[in-house]
Structure 1
Amino acid sequence: MQLDWLIRMKEALDLMEKRLDGRLDIEEIAKAAYVSPFHFQRMFHMLTGMTVAEYMRKRKLTLAAQELATTSAKVLDVALKYGYDSPESFSKAFRKIHGISPSEARNPGVSLKAFPRISFHLSLKGDKDMDYRIAEKEAFTVVGKSIEVTCQNGEQSQHIHKLWQECHRDGTITKLASLGADENLLGVVEMQPDNETMTYTIAGIAGPEAATEGFSVKTIPASTWAIFTSVGPLPGAIQNVFGRIFQEWFPATGYEISGAPELEIYPPGDTTAEDYRCEAWVPIVKK
């Protein structure tokens, strides 16, 4: 199963390279990997730390810089070739990656960034079991405090950490833990289809008479969940579990992520303790 996954991902990457001078068709790319577009983009982001669009952008601007440095092609022609509608938008993106304008790339001895093609490798770990269970759960309601953040350059982790700090400081955590259904806190991860942005909510499960004023209210749809236990201090332990789910568990199973929110379930306790136990809930569908 893992070898099949590796071959399919390589074929998808090959197709992405062929599409660098054209418009990205994520449905075509995902089809090469035999998964849904959402699953492909979520897997790609979790495995590489980049969104598909971010990776493609860096690869295109790497090739564009090489072309400008080694040929007499016009900046406008290179911009259009790599999918930019105007020299202005191309110049802005180019400067963000290389720190110089496209025309300066022609200067002898100028320093340019080269972002190489990535590759996936099969890692046979086997040194640590991944215990999990599959559960069905009806739709339920959560209430909490939300932020929308970009997933580019790993910025989401910093913003989420700040949100938790703020919620501890202003008493939000205490309020959410007393909403009535249970004492667990939730981290609710809602990825946009392109994985470029996400909404993260620190929430509690709403009881029938929970006071929701001042909080955002969300319905978690009925889903099939793969549930994994995390043991260790936060946030490192649960981040490691989510990483292993996408690096090891999905490639070895016949499931893919459904597109419903992903959940972090935090029971009361010392979250800095070596034996702190919490859970990662991933919504799944059979391929």
Structure 2
Amino acid sequence: MSYYINLQKSINYIESNLKNNIELEQISKVAGYSLPHFYRVFSAIVGCPVKEYVRKRRLSNAMFDIVTSKKSITEIAFEYGFESHEAFTRSFKLAYGAPPSRFRKAQVEPALYEKINLLSKNNEDGVIILKPEIICKDEILLLGIARKINQSENIKFSLLSKV
């Protein structure tokens, strides 16, 4: 259970410093772990690397500001630690599939990446309670090669990728 408490301290630190320069060494110190151990534990429990979590939270908060405020997109980009408008737009487009200006014009309800609260995910026994949900995605086009394989043949699956 102490892993959850220590990681929650680091998440709280990240949340309170999203608009500041966040040093990963400082985050690991807040949790009380060495940097390599912190990377492993954070990824295992949170489900993504710490840098990705910070980036997602910054972009999520920036998305909220873009939709709800009158600040310029460049101002918001610098506010959340991006070095340029272009770097912010690239990262934003990669995360949300469209540039920030399109979200501002559309005034859509943003789908935010929420702060993780590890302590609320646990019951009294320290077991993570999973809440599965069904998500409908748009169709995708898959491409493959049809090939008949005889079950009696001893084919290594690693060779199939070379076909």
The TM-score, its normalising length taken from structure 2, stands at: 0.70
Match of residue 29, structure 2, among 21, 28, 31:
31
* Gap runs ≥5 in structure 2: 128-155
Alpha-carbon contact 2:62-2:80 (below 8 Å) kept: yes
Per-residue deviation, residues 29-76 of structure 1 (Å, max 9, x unmatched): 111111111111111111122111111111101100111111111111
Determine the structure 1 residue equivalent to 2:91. Answer: 93
The TM-score, its normalising length taken from structure 1, stands at: 0.41
Instruction: Give the root-mean-square deviation of aligned CA atoms.
Output: 2.2
Match of residue 76, structure 1, among 74, 77, 80:
74
Query: In the alignment, does 2:60 pair up with 1:59?
Result: no
In structure 1, distance between residues paired with 2:110 and 2:3 = 34
Per-residue deviation, residues 4-36 of structure 1 (Å, max 9, x unmatched): 433222211110101211222111111111111
Query: In the alignment, does 2:16 pair up with 1:22?
Result: no
Alpha-carbon contact 1:97-1:113 (below 8 Å) kept: no
Secondary structure at the counterpart of residue 76 of structure 1: helix
Taking a change above 3 Å as real, the CA distance of residues 48 and 5 of structure 1, as seen in their structure-2 partners, is closer
**4+ long deviations beyond 4 Å:** none
Taking a change above 3 Å as real, the CA distance of residues 120 and 47 of structure 1, as seen in their structure-2 partners, is same
Secondary structure at the counterpart of residue 82 of structure 2: coil
Taking a change above 3 Å as real, the CA distance of residues 165 and 118 of structure 1, as seen in their structure-2 partners, is farther
- Partner letter of residue 108 of structure 2? V
Secondary structure at the counterpart of residue 63 of structure 1: helix
Looking at secondary structure, tell me which structure has more helix per residue. 2
* Gap runs ≥5 in structure 1: 127-163, 171-287
Alpha-carbon contact 1:80-1:86 (below 8 Å) kept: yes
Determine the structure 1 residue equivalent to 2:6. Answer: 8
Looking at secondary structure, tell me which structure has more strand per residue. 1
